[in-house]
Amino acid sequence: MTAPLCPGATIGIIGGGQLGRMLAGAAARLGYKTVILDPQPNCPAAQLASSQIVGAYDDPTALATLAGSADVVTYEFENVPVAAARSLAERLGVLPPPKALDIAQDRLTEKTFLNDAGISTARHFAVDSDADLAAALDALGGSGVLKTRRLGYDGKGQRVLRGLAAGACRGVVAAMGDVPLILEELVDFSFEFSVIAARAADGTVQAYDPARNEHREGILRRSLVPAGIEPATLAGARASTFALMEALGYVGVIGVEFFALADGGFLVNEFAPRVHNSGHWTDAACAVSQFEQHIRAVAGLPLGDPRRHSNAVMENLIGAEIDEAADLMRQPDTVLTLYGKAETRPGRKMGHVTRIAPLSAKG
């Protein structure tokens, strides 16, 4: 794509969850149509989009229909089949590039790429057998976080190991599903934070203020802005995020999760090649949200100003917490977003609420 998409053009979105829904809304504000590819009829994104293709993400017929319907394609989650994204990229623009998907889908590949780009992560080891696990634990002093290399999210596919002797490793890999694993060092961090940033095709970059993130049972519970991060730490985290996007040849919005260390340093935990849960606050506290920023980037438009006009606290509404929606609507300075999901389940993100306040002297 060498010129910005004209109003009325169609943006394809692979994935029909809440992120696709919010992207479709942002695209409509800028005058674009959207077509969603998702196997679930009337998925949350399709409720706001111009049309939906009901089909598997790797179905050749569905992909051909998407390629014939859209002017550019993006995606809302990082487990899109890479082969499908590459197939689409032979026919039209796919942004962010499939390379970002390929790297983000494997935790070992991801950390290796980050390290090769000069970005620090926790120490880690590939684990394919109980013997590998014993050796890795020995190198890390008997403790670590054992994770599946692929498909884990919201705390799934993870097991914390503390003080485990080498002889106690028998059967652990089998219990994790006999899939490729990675053992990561347990990091003694002060708090977690994330940087949401964007890169345009011409290399222009922008970053939102970082958010301090609080998790519960592996799921993001709350994001707070300002995050109370030292200026030097903030500058380093932004520089690492920009370096990562440059190395990926990235176009679009990215979410990079960090561990803040007591000495002012930081480590990258992981990155998501898409809009990110910890950036939902931007829809209430910035003139240009992360969703609009992503649409601008993939459509070839100028990136927007990421400055915020308010402080913000964003909280996910998980499971039955959606029943609080009516009460939340009565609260001042509160922005409520529901995802249009038909079924409420424990641990399922049903919406989010952002409370805004005037900028403070520290903000």
pLDDT of residue 142: 86
Average of pLDDT values for 220-229? 96
pLDDT of residue 161: 87
pLDDT of residue 162: 84
pLDDT of residue 153: 58
Average of pLDDT values for 126-133? 92
Query: What is the rounded distance in angstroms from the CA atom of residue 72 to the CA atom of residue 113?
Result: 27
- pLDDT class for 34, splitting at 50, 70, 90? very high
Which pLDDT tens digit goes with each residue over 237-284? 999 999 999 999 999 999 999 999 999 999 999 999 999 999 999 999
Give me the phi and psi of 318, to 5 degrees please: -115, 130
The whole-chain average pLDDT of the chain stands at 94
Domain ranges of the chain: 10-94, 123-184, 191-358
Could you tell me which CATH number the domain at 191-358 has?
Answer: 3.30.470.20
Query: What is the rounded distance in angstroms from the CA atom of residue 150 to the CA atom of residue 196?
Result: 23
Q: By three-state DSSP, how is residue 255 classified?
A: strand
Instruction: Reply yes or no on domain 10-94 having CATH 3.30.565.10.
Output: no
Query: What is the rounded distance in angstroms from the CA atom of residue 227 to the CA atom of residue 159?
Result: 28
pLDDT of residue 36: 98
pTM, whole model, 2 decimals? 0.94
- pLDDT class for 157, splitting at 50, 70, 90? confident
Which pLDDT tens digit goes with each residue over 77-115? 999 999 999 999 999 999 999 999 999 999 999 999 999
Structure tokens at 60: 């050749």
Confirm if 306 and 294 have CB atoms less than 8 A apart.
Answer: no
Q: By three-state DSSP, how is residue 148 classified?
A: strand
Confirm if 303 and 296 have CB atoms less than 8 A apart.
Answer: yes
Containing 12, the helix (H) or strand (E) segment is strand 10-14
Total residue length of the chain: 363
Confirm if 277 and 220 have CB atoms less than 8 A apart.
Answer: yes
pLDDT of residue 361: 47
pLDDT of residue 156: 63
Q: What is the dihedral of CA 50, 54, 19, 42, to 10 degrees?
A: 70
Query: What is the rounded distance in angstroms from the CA atom of residue 28 to the CA atom of residue 48?
Result: 9
Residue 242's nearest CA partner among 271, 212, 216, 211 is: 271
The number of angstroms, rounded, from the C-alpha of 100 to the middle of its chain's C-alpha atoms is 12
Of residues 131 and 206, more confidence is placed in 206
Start-to-end C-alpha separation, the chain: 38
pLDDT of residue 166: 60
Query: What is the rounded distance in angstroms from the CA atom of residue 324 to the CA atom of residue 315?
Result: 12
pLDDT of residue 76: 97
Percentage of the chain lying above the pLDDT 90 cut = 85
Average of pLDDT values for 1-12? 90
Query: What is the rounded distance in angstroms from the CA atom of residue 302 to the CA atom of residue 309?
Result: 20
pLDDT of residue 227: 96
pLDDT of residue 169: 81
The number of angstroms, rounded, from the C-alpha of 64 to the middle of its chain's C-alpha atoms is 27
pLDDT of residue 177: 87
Q: Which CATH architecture has domain 123-184?
A: 2-Layer Sandwich (3.30)
Confirm if 218 and 209 have CB atoms less than 8 A apart.
Answer: no
What does 231-271 look like in DSSP terms, one character per residue?
HHHHHHHHHHHHHHHHHHT--EEEEEEEEEPTTS-EEEEEE
Average of pLDDT values for 327-341? 97
Average of pLDDT values for 41-56? 97
Residue 295's nearest CA partner among 91, 82, 71 is: 71
The reply to whether 191-358 shares the fold of 123-184 is: no
Which pLDDT tens digit goes with each residue over 343-357? 999 999 999 999 999
Of 143-157, 192-206, 232-246, 344-358, minimum mean pLDDT range: 143-157
Residue 105 DSSP label: T
Average of pLDDT values for 43-71? 97
Reply yes or no on whether the pLDDT at 71 is more than 50.
yes
Which pLDDT tens digit goes with each residue over 299-322? 999 999 999 999 999 999 999 999
Query: What is the rounded distance in angstroms from the CA atom of residue 342 to the CA atom of residue 44?
Result: 9
